[in-house]
Structures are given as C-alpha cells and as structure tokens.
C-alpha cells in the first residue's frame, strides 16, 4: 500500500536540519558571539575573565541547545503520540466509487441555522459503505494534544486521482463545538493509504 499521508518519523538530516532549526542555530550563534564580544572587551582581572567566559559559554550553550531542540522535540512527541494511538484509530476502507461534497442535515447542531439546514459534507462512497466529514470542523476544531495531528490539506484533491482504487483512511471521531452530543461529521484524518 502506498501512503498518501501520515505523520513523518523524525529521521534524516533533512528532518533534523529544517529551516526553523537552522534559523534557531544562527540566532543563538549570533547572540553568543555578541555576548562574547561584550565580555571580551571589558577589563577584568584574569580570574574573573576566565569565570566570565565560562559563564557566557555555559549559558550560551544551554540556550543554543534548548532553542535548536525545541522544534525537534515537539515533532518527535507528535510522532510518538501517533505511534501510541495507532491501535485506537477507527478505519474506513474500500474501493472508492465517489469522492465529493454532499448536502446533509445534522440535527441538534449549535449553529444559528435550523435543524433542517443542509451542511456541505465531504463524502466518500464505496460499494459497501459511506464515510462523511465536515472538513472545516476537522481542520479548525481538533485541538487535543494527546491525539495525533490531523491532515490539514485538501482531502478532495488528495483522493480524487484514486477513484476506483482501494483506499484506507484511519481517523478518530471527536465532539466539537458544532455539536455537543454527536461526532457523526467531526472526524480527524490521521493517515491515508491507497492500494495500487
């Protein structure tokens, strides 16, 4: 099966040295160099000078380590959450017959509309089943940091080329501010695979 989307494992130089990490390293080196130059030109006794250099080096190194590792640790934590929750995810699988939006009612929702209001619901239809999600809920409402990150791209564009092929979507449902009792359309897509 080909993976269309899944959280990336923290591996490889391209992961460890992404743009944000490099900018953090450059910033820390600049701060460290500026502090070093300030203390270098001050006139202290030899012992105080060595102690000052050591303190500046120690604080600069600690700051550099924390700034460069903060993004990497956050990404590693997200991936670990994905691995830890992998067995708890729900699965939708089947050969896609239809991918697109349909108008559907969602009685009991907390919006100003009437109960018979028809929502734009992204729908995947297979010969055996139907899977639906209101995409704006998925991308805006899910904020549980103990769950894997949601796919935030355009799922229609992602799946449209694979109509007629078997797709497996793993997701979890959650209660959103749109509806306090039903998670019928509030789902978080965690990974998508297609059988070629």
Alpha carbons within 13 angstroms on the beta-carbon side of residue 6 total 20
Q: Is the pTM of this model over 0.75?
A: no
Q: Give φ, ψ of 187 to 5 degrees.
A: -135, 150
Q: How far apart are CA 32 and CA 64, in angstroms?
A: 9
Q: How far apart are CA 156 and CA 143, in angstroms?
A: 22
Dump pLDDT digits (tens) for 119-168: 777 888 899 888 888 766 655 555 566 777 778 888 888 888 999 999 99
What tokens appear for 184 in the block? Answer: 């019928």
Dump pLDDT digits (tens) for 12-28: 545 555 556 666 777 77
């Amino acid at each position: 099966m080909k993976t269309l989307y899944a959280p990336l494992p923290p591996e490889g130089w391209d992961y460890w040295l992404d743009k944000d990490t490099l900018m953090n390293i450059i910033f820390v080196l600049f701060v460290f160099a500026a502090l070093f130059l300030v203390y270098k030109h001050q006139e202290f006794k030899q012992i105080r000078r060595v102690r000052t250099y050591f303190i500046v080096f120690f604080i600069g190194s600690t700051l550099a380590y924390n700034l460069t590792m903060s993004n990497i640790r956050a990404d590693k934590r997200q991936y670990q959450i994905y691995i830890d929750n992998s067995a708890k995810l729900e699965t939708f699988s089947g050969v896609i017959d239809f991918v697109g939006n349909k108008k559907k009612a969602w009685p009991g929702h907390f919006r100003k509309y009437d109960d018979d209001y028809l929502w734009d619901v992204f729908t995947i239809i297979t010969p055996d089943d139907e899977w639906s999600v209101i995409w704006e809920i998925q991308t805006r409402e899910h904020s549980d940091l103990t769950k894997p990150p949601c796919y935030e791209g355009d799922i229609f564009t992602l799946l449209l080329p694979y109509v007629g092929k078997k797709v497996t979507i793993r997701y979890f449902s959650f209660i959103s501010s749109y509806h306090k009792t039903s998670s019928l359309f509030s789902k978080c897509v965690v990974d998508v695979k297609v059988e070629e």
